[in-house]
Amino acid sequence: MAKFKFSVSTGYVGSKREEIVEIEDFELKGMDEEQKTNYINEVFEEWVWENVSNGWEEIED
């Protein structure tokens, strides 16, 4: 099983989030390095958005 440390931070104290993410070997089997990188980036991007809260609202004067 491949293991990766994912992290995300806003740069403010206490905002850093880290997690060890495991990807099953069969999910990466047969991929070349570029395909693996792209797949891991997709997994990472999904992980980031699961760990970040954000939003916006209109402010009327």
Amino acid (one-letter) located at 36: K
- List 23's β-bridge partners, or say none: 2
Say if CB 17 and CB 51 are below 8 A apart: yes
Burial category of 23 from C-beta neighbours within 10 Å (exposed 0-12, middle 13-18, buried 19 and up)? middle
Question: Would the pTM of this model clear 0.95, i.e. be above it?
Answer: no
- Per-residue pLDDT, 53: 87
Amino acid (one-letter) located at 53: S
- Per-residue pLDDT, 21: 97
Q: What are 47's two structure tokens?
A: 């992980």
- Per-residue pLDDT, 41: 97
Tell me the average confidence (pLDDT) per consecutive run of 10 residues in the chain, 61 residues long.
Answer: 95 93 96 97 95 92 88
